[in-house]
A and B are shown apart, each in its own frame.
Chain A
């Protein structure tokens, strides 16, 4: 009897320790991601301070890494390190722009569908289903090919297409929260629907929206890079995807100029990694708290 009880207690204790350890690991991962991401943001914001040269300045082309040009120069003689630092701006703007728009649309649609239910819900979810059916990358490629390619356009299209999963998650969460008694209490105090949606329900689902937002930035950055790599990006802008594209089309790969194509690839990987680390650890925390409850 006593043994049983002891075993139970120790089982509970190990469970808690496990959760704590997981929590700590998640926290460390998130911190690492945050640090990395902040570095990239600082680089993008103060490119003119960090970059040794203007990325459009021409030096001797096809230089290998040396003292003046730490990562060498490309076929036009632009300093690759400077290109790399300035390139973070486009990637970040596209990522943030697309994610901000997608999250905003998704959150609004999800909130309204989940809160009002009924006809509004069915209509909004119908629209969501239609958007889910659109093959997104091919559409972006086609639009980018037919319209004048610009990174604003790419961000806009991605933002207009990628809100569907956010909308669904927010909707189910809003449906759950609207049934709680504090929402009924708000209604009984005569608050309007809008007031309830935005100041009672929305703060209660921010913790779900945040990781979604971070992961959307990550996938938007990857997509921007892939579209640029395919040559459908904005050729007048220096972005990481564009750099890889030029390295590919102008002989960087064949000649083995690793300082040309490797750094932009690494930069994309690192920034996506930082976002994913933050997003996942936030999501994991959420799941963990739900398990404990």
Chain B
């Protein structure tokens, strides 16, 4: 597996990405020094609790952040820095090369446009395809996702269930066969069975198109099911990254371990303390106020430790 990834050049390289928001309460450090690579056909999961800056990273890559955001760093995609592109150039990339599947599919679809038209719209806009032809393609795609009936194309999002809307969203975001699909909490708010269905759907799509997936989720077991590599985020930083099996099998960072202990099958142990403020984050290692193994060093500085050449790294003084 590792050889396979090493041979492929990374398709997306994020280097030193930091995002800050200027708010009346102060500067919010939503993401700091985030760095990761995504290789071809690979699935990378960005895991962390709510509010740790996962979605901000995705929006920053696509330049979808509101005006008060200050973005630093690089996101290299086919020799271009996505963060520096003009609106016109990034519009060409959005949907075409990189697309997002948003959380809450029922709100992410236009309520008064037919489902079929919404799936076909990217084809009409980006490929200048005729309406009839684009609808034909959309129908084919939708039936591959298990919504094959003709009448479904002319229905509205409010007539669909959440799961069906999710499939529509997936179809919309993959109709231009992008190279990277970002799934932003695709299973949030769905029950467990439905979440599993959606995950299976996404896997199917990845196999179908050969696209890479950046999966953003708080559901660490979902990440374990479908991703090749995992990056664990805490308070705007990636604290641990590595192959899925290794990170989940032998977690190094105390936060990863604590997160795994929160799972029901591991005894539901909560992490003591609360998530730190993003406006005044703690000095040194951001996890130190809640860490059982903290030392004097943890409170002053951080360090990133790379473990073997495999891309495994951890942001902790213990190693």
Within the complex, which residue of A180, A182, A189, A204 is in contact with B94, where a contact is CB–CB below 8 Å?
Answer: A189
Is the CB–CB distance between B112 and A203 below 8 Å? yes
Q: Which residues of A contact B95 (CB under 8 A)?
A: 188-191
Residue of A nearest to B67 (CB): A118
Residue of B nearest to A204 (CB): B112
Is the CB–CB distance between A188 and B64 below 8 Å? yes
Q: Which residues of B contact A182 (CB under 8 A)?
A: 107-111
Q: Which residues of B contact A189 (CB under 8 A)?
A: 94-95, 99, 121-122, 125, 172-173
Within the complex, which residue of A118, A184, A192 is in contact with B64, where a contact is CB–CB below 8 Å?
Answer: A184
Q: Find residues 99-121 in chain A having any chain B CB closer than 8 Å to their own CB.
A: 118
A293–B173 CA distance with the chains assembled, in angstroms: 30
A200 touches B (CB below 8 Å):
yes
Q: Which residues of A contact B94 (CB under 8 A)?
A: 187-190
Known contacts A184-B64, A185-B102; A190 and B122 CB within 8 A of each other: yes
B239 touches A (CB below 8 Å):
no
A204–B110 CA distance with the chains assembled, in angstroms: 9
Q: Find residues 97-130 in chain B having any chain A CB closer than 8 Å to their own CB.
A: 99-100, 102, 104, 107-113, 121-122, 125-126
Q: Which residues of A contact B99 (CB under 8 A)?
A: 188-189
Q: Find residues 202-244 in chain A having any chain B CB closer than 8 Å to their own CB.
A: 203-204
Q: Which residues of A contact B109 (CB under 8 A)?
A: 182, 185
Is the CB–CB distance between A184 and B113 below 8 Å? no
A81–B108 CA distance with the chains assembled, in angstroms: 57
A204–B113 CA distance with the chains assembled, in angstroms: 9
A200–B67 CA distance with the chains assembled, in angstroms: 21
B91 touches A (CB below 8 Å):
yes
Residue of B nearest to A201 (CB): B110
A289 touches B (CB below 8 Å):
no
A7 touches B (CB below 8 Å):
no
Main secondary structure of the interface of A (DSSP, over half): helix
A189–B67 CA distance with the chains assembled, in angstroms: 19
B92 touches A (CB below 8 Å):
yes
A195 touches B (CB below 8 Å):
yes
A57 touches B (CB below 8 Å):
no
Q: Find residues 159-200 in chain A having any chain B CB closer than 8 Å to their own CB.
A: 180-182, 184-192, 195, 200
A248–B99 CA distance with the chains assembled, in angstroms: 70
Q: Total A-B pairs in contact (CB under 8 Å)?
A: 65
A185–B108 CA distance with the chains assembled, in angstroms: 6
Q: Which residues of A contact B91 (CB under 8 A)?
A: 190-192
Q: Which of A182, A185, A187, A195 has the most C-beta atoms of chain B within 10 angstroms of its own C-beta?
A: A185
A261–B96 CA distance with the chains assembled, in angstroms: 67
B93 touches A (CB below 8 Å):
yes
A182–B122 CA distance with the chains assembled, in angstroms: 14
Q: Which residues of B contact A195 (CB under 8 A)?
A: 125
Known contacts A189-B122, A190-B92, A190-B122; A204 and B111 CB within 8 A of each other: yes
Q: Which residues of B contact A200 (CB under 8 A)?
A: 110, 113
B62 touches A (CB below 8 Å):
yes
A13–B92 CA distance with the chains assembled, in angstroms: 52
Q: Find residues 197-243 in chain B having any chain A CB closer than 8 Å to their own CB.
A: none
Known contacts A181-B102, A184-B64; A190 and B96 CB within 8 A of each other: yes
Q: Which residues of B contact A190 (CB under 8 A)?
A: 90-96, 122, 125-126
Q: Hey, what's the 0/1 contact readout for B152-165 against A, CB within 8 Å counting as 1?
A: 00000000000000
Is the CB–CB distance between B64 and A187 below 8 Å? yes
Q: Find residues 56-107 in chain B having any chain A CB closer than 8 Å to their own CB.
A: 62, 64, 67, 90-96, 99-100, 102, 104, 107
Is the CB–CB distance between B122 and A181 below 8 Å? no
Residue of B nearest to A180 (CB): B107
Q: Which residues of A contact B122 (CB under 8 A)?
A: 189-191
Is the CB–CB distance between A184 and B173 below 8 Å? no
Q: Which residues of A contact B169 (CB under 8 A)?
A: 185
Known contacts A182-B111, A195-B125, A203-B112; A188 and B104 CB within 8 A of each other: no
A-B contacts, 8 listed (Cβ < 8 Å)? A188-B99, A188-B102, A189-B122, A189-B125, A189-B173, A190-B91, A190-B92, A190-B96
Starting from the known contacts A185-B169, A187-B94, 13 additional A-B residue pairs (CB-CB under 8 Å) come to A181-B102, A181-B107, A181-B108, A182-B110, A184-B108, A185-B102, A185-B172, A189-B94, A189-B122, A190-B93, A190-B126, A191-B121, A204-B112
